[in-house]
Amino acid sequence: MKSGEINIRVRYAETDQMGVVYYANYFVWFEAGRTEYFRQLGMPYNEFERNDIFLPVTRAFAHFKVPARYDEMVRVVTDVTSIQEVRIAFKYEIFRENELLVRGETEHAFVSKNGKPVVLKKQNPFLWRRLLEAAGENVE
Amino acid sequence: MKSGEINIRVRYAETDQMGVVYYANYFVWFEAGRTEYFRQLGMPYNEFERNDIFLPVTRAFAHFKVPARYDEMVRVVTDVTSIQEVRIAFKYEIFRENELLVRGETEHAFVSKNGKPVVLKKQNPFLWRRLLEAAGENVE
Amino acid sequence: MKSGEINIRVRYAETDQMGVVYYANYFVWFEAGRTEYFRQLGMPYNEFERNDIFLPVTRAFAHFKVPARYDEMVRVVTDVTSIQEVRIAFKYEIFRENELLVRGETEHAFVSKNGKPVVLKKQNPFLWRRLLEAAGENVE
Amino acid sequence: MKSGEINIRVRYAETDQMGVVYYANYFVWFEAGRTEYFRQLGMPYNEFERNDIFLPVTRAFAHFKVPARYDEMVRVVTDVTSIQEVRIAFKYEIFRENELLVRGETEHAFVSKNGKPVVLKKQNPFLWRRLLEAAGENVE
């Protein structure tokens, strides 16, 4: 499947006294990109939680190249990079027009509401197959 | 009972490009003040939720007089101003040393997890009496 | 002029453990509404700051009627309610489809970068007239 | 020098609908740890900015092992891991009592207000020497 894409207008709240976007907010935008990726895949993240599957972040990384500023429109491009029995990984690129500002990665565990690891293939074969199809050749 | 008090060190994340604390963050500090008030009262807010009593904010107000800045230490002073069968209200004052920066108020409903109003006096007479004692003459 | 309008998708980051949007975040959405209002007026807020006019919030109020939830799309409708020589006021309504979730108000001072009050009519007659025209009969 | 240490009380605002702290907030706590580290070193970060030296984050990483929850007290332990002519790196460990919840790293560039790289050794030999002494044998 192709990348998930979402446009985000930078909020004043997201800037800091350096006059640019505060670094932790890019991770929030990654999440917005992820949410949109799942929606465009036809399986909104809410469906996971309704099926008692949660995807807490276990690792996150970002490389900040160029800062975004208040009122700019940025574009978050999201892809799945790996699907395993108990985890999934994404990568993100944030652009302002054609300029790459930030790239990043997150890794997520599949867990139930109480935090126990879930084997997605067993717990929900439908979601599992749907994810595999979506991620195509990127799957490990 | 006397006021709840808590000291808060201003984070870089809380500033915006104007070089001062972004206005919505003072409401977060109000919440930190409220949490501390309940703890100092001997009934941590967590206990409410464990008893299926939630206190969502129904109204909030703030008057911003002087801005706080990065790395300053501010003090949030919290008091209950009103307790009714289905709601409670607080006021807050935020100081930097002896200078009043912000004052505000919040009103909260007593509700259950599913959002239905709860009559605290019936649902949990212990918490109800404890709150009444705490608020003293301020109770309506 | 007609109201400013903007659609906002609720982020996971904006929820709290009550399962709904944390109250301070509605004030961030007010700001997004305000930014959009100025843009639709043809005078982006950035222009104010480039002309050394800043609009810090001096008072804010919100009435929270119905909570918004993760991944919902809400609509922020913004209007100017008052323009005076040294301040301006806005009101906001946040809807989910046709249901009113939150309404609120903010008041802002006109100040220079160093925080000194600015008489907008003198400092920038163009912006002043433009605002007056925009606000129409609402002006006091 | 020994590690910087700071205690942080988890705010309700920092939780999400999973009932735990939202991942991006740990990066805010890293910043609070960093601020404290500089203060304990005797050179508050504010001094850098007053000398036109800014430390924007260029890379950030975190490994989330165990989630923190509302009202818990956590401890952020911060160390410098590397100092180079134009950048500096930190590592962080976040504990709840003796349990390691999160560990992470950030890398920062030395830049001037306008974003241009700064050679700290030339721009401010005092801060440079102070940092080198502080980081001791960790310096590359």
Rounded Cα gap, residues A47 and C70, in angstroms: 12
Known catalytic residue at D71 = no
pLDDT of residue B130: 85
Instruction: Indicate the pLDDT class of residue C2, thresholds 50, 70 and 90.
Output: confident
SS3 content of chain A, % helix, strand, coil (to 5): 30, 35, 30
Instruction: Tell me the backbone φ, ψ of residue C100, rounded to 5 degrees.
Output: -80, 120
Confidence of residue C1 (pLDDT cuts 50, 70, 90): low
Instruction: Specify burial of residue C24 (Cβ count, 10 A radius: 0-12, 13-18, 19+).
Output: buried
Is residue B73 within 8 Å of residue B79, measured between CB atoms?
no
Structure tokens, A100: 């790459």
- Structurally, how many domains does chain D consist of? 1
CA distance A50 to B139: 42
C80 in helix, strand or coil? strand
DSSP 3-state assignment of B124? coil
pLDDT of residue C136: 67
Cα atoms in the 13 Å half-sphere on the side-chain side of D15:
21
Residues of B with CB under 8 A from a CB of A: 12-13, 15-20, 22, 24, 70
Q: What is the DSSP-derived secondary structure letter of residue A20?
A: S
B60 contact residues in C (CB cutoff 8 A): 23, 60-62, 64
Q: For residue D71, is pLDDT > 70?
A: yes
Tokens for D92, please give them. 């962080």
Determine if residue B4 is left, alpha or beta; phi over 0 gives left, psi from -120 to 50 gives alpha, anything else beta: beta
Active-site residue list of B: 16
Distance spanning both ends of chain D, measured CA to CA: 16
Region of B30 (left: φ > 0; alpha: ψ -120 to 50; beta: rest) is alpha
Tell me the one-letter amino acid at A127: L
> Does the pLDDT of residue B138 top 70, yes or no?
no
Q: Above pLDDT 90, what percent of chain D?
A: 81
Phi, psi of A50 (to 5 degrees): -65, -25
Q: Which of D127, D103, D104 is nearest to D46 (CA)?
A: D127
Select the residue from C71, C72, C78, C106 to test the A interface by mutation, using most A Cβ atoms within 10 A.
C71
pLDDT at C3: 87
The answer to whether B59 contacts C63, with C-beta atoms less than 8 Å apart, is yes
Q: What is the pLDDT of residues C68-124, one digit of tens each?
A: 999 999 999 999 999 999 999 999 999 999 999 999 999 999 999 988 999 999 999
Please tell me the distance in Å from C2's CA to the nearest CA on chain B: 26
- B88 CB-contact burial (10 Å; exposed 0-12 / middle 13-18 / buried 19+): buried
| A117 CB-near residues (< 8 Å, 6+ apart) | A86, A109, A110, A111
A25 in Cβ contact with A69 (< 8 Å) = no
Average model confidence (pLDDT) across chain B: 93
Query: What are the E-state strand segments in chain A?
Result: 4-9, 57-64, 73-84, 87-96, 99-109
Q: What is the pLDDT of residues D5-55, one digit of tens each?
A: 999 999 999 999 999 999 999 999 999 999 999 999 888 999 999 999 999
Quickly state the pLDDT bin for D1 (edges 50, 70, 90).
low
**Are D8 and D74 a contacting pair, CB within 8 Å?**
yes
| Euclidean distance between CA atoms B16 and B12, whole angstroms | 8
pLDDT tens digits for chain A (140 residues)? Answer: 678 999 999 999 999 999 999 999 999 999 999 999 999 988 899 999 999 999 999 999 999 999 999 999 999 999 999 999 999 999 999 999 999 999 999 999 999 998 899 999 999 998 899 888 877 655 54
Subunits next to C (3 or more Cβ pairs <8 Å) are: A, B, D
D52-77 average pLDDT score: 98
How far is Cα C94 from Cα C29, in angstroms, rounded to an integer? 9
Check residue B15 and give its pLDDT. 98
Q: What mean pLDDT is reported for chain C?
A: 93
The CATH number of the domain where C12 resides is what? 3.10.129.10
Q: Where are the alpha helices (DSSP H) in C18-124?
A: 24-40, 45-50, 120-123
pLDDT at D139 over 70: no
Predicted local confidence at residue C135, as pLDDT: 73
Residue bearing tokens 């930078």: A10
Q: Which domain holds residue D129?
A: 4-138
- Quick one: which H or E segment has residue A34? helix A24-40
Global ipTM: 0.95
- Alpha-carbon gap: B22 to the closest alpha carbon of chain A (Å): 6
Give the tens place of pLDDT for each residue, B72-99: 999 999 999 999 999 999 999 999 999 9
Mean pLDDT computed over every residue of chain D: 93
Bigger pLDDT: A113 or C137?
A113
Please determine, for residue D2, whether its predicted confidence score (pLDDT) is greater than 90. Answer: no
| Assigned token pair, B9 | 């060190």
Strands (E), B1-126: 4-9, 57-64, 73-83, 87-96, 99-109
Substitution target in B70, B72, B90 with the highest count of D β-carbons within 10 Å is B70
What's the pLDDT at B8?
98
Q: CA-CA distance, B78 to B39, in Å (whole number)? A: 12
The DSSP bridge pattern shows strands C57-64 and C73-83 to be unpaired
Q: How far apart are CA A107 and CA A58, in angstroms?
A: 6
Q: pTM of whole model > 0.90?
A: yes
